Amino acid sequence: MTKTVSTTSLLEMKRKGEKITMVTAYDYPFARLLDQSRIDTILVGDSVGVVVAGYKDTLPVTVDEMIYHGRAVVRGSERALVIVDLPFMSYQVSIADAKFQAGRIMKETGAGAVKLEGGITMQETIKALVDIGIPVCAHIGLTPQAVNQLGGFKVQREKERLMQDAQAVAEAGAFAVVIECVPAEIATEISQSLTIPTIGIGAGPGCDGQVLVMHDMLTLFDRFRPSFVKQYADLGRETRKALENYSREVKDGSFPGPEHSFS
């Protein structure tokens, strides 16, 4: 039987010094590929709004959209822990909202946890969710839902504030924290100061795990590429090549051949 990854297995991995892998996915086929590749955790990120829906940022994404994508990913994964993002304005207005929307996501997708953005300001919200049995992954540093407040997608360098945010979410009961776009030295110090795992994105090698957006690492999204992304494959190029071949063969009559036709 497949051993599934849980929030407690991530804590155990940190304790043993085993690095944690996280990649985003938004649909069934990619969730299956991630699971077959033994990626530990799949994040149904609100980055879906940018890399799948084509918005300029994540702000327009709705809870219903997260539920749609979350369900597809949960259906495609047997082993990985699936974490679904709470989108912008689904948890910031009140704790009651946060409980209701996080509850819907857990109930309607079957995911194992939710993620929300913010440090000290979200401490009470995280605690309230954890108290009712909803595991929360926090997200500090560059928090894309606050892009208008932060003045763009920039590296976050305020060490004291970052350390306080990390402590606050850990004390509130988050089982892990994503640290985005933070100098490697600061992220390492945060990782060493916490008992919960840190998952870095643009935060250097000292984090307890790493996360990348699937469409960035596989070059399926070409509008922009953050400098911290490593391209592990160019599926955009491969896809264009395949589509050009298909188009040429249809136009010159070589597809469909007899093997693709019924007699």
Residues serving a catalytic function are: 180
45 binds ligand KIV, rule: CB under 6 A: yes
85 binds ligand KIV, rule: CB under 6 A: yes
169 binds ligand KIV, rule: CB under 6 A: no
Cβ closest to ligand KIV, residue 47 vs residue 191: 47
Among 7, 21, 47, 219, which residue interacts with ligand KIV (rule: CB under 6 A)? Answer: 47
Which stretch, 3-11, 38-46, 159-167, 224-232, contacts ligand KIV (CB under 6 A)? 38-46
98 binds ligand KIV, rule: CB under 6 A: no
140 binds ligand KIV, rule: CB under 6 A: no
DSSP strand pairing (113-115 vs 20-24): unpaired
Which stretch, 6-14, 41-49, 64-72, 119-127, contacts ligand KIV (CB under 6 A)? 41-49
Pairwise CA distance, residues 68 & 135, whole Å: 20
What angle do the packed helices 159-172 and 184-193 form, to 10 degrees?
Answer: 30
- Sign of the C-alpha dihedral, residues 49, 216, 25, 90? negative
Among 14, 20, 35, 46, which residue interacts with ligand KIV (rule: CB under 6 A)? Answer: 46
* Chain positions contacting ligand KIV, by CB under 6 A: 24, 43, 45-47, 85, 139, 178, 180, 201, 211, 213
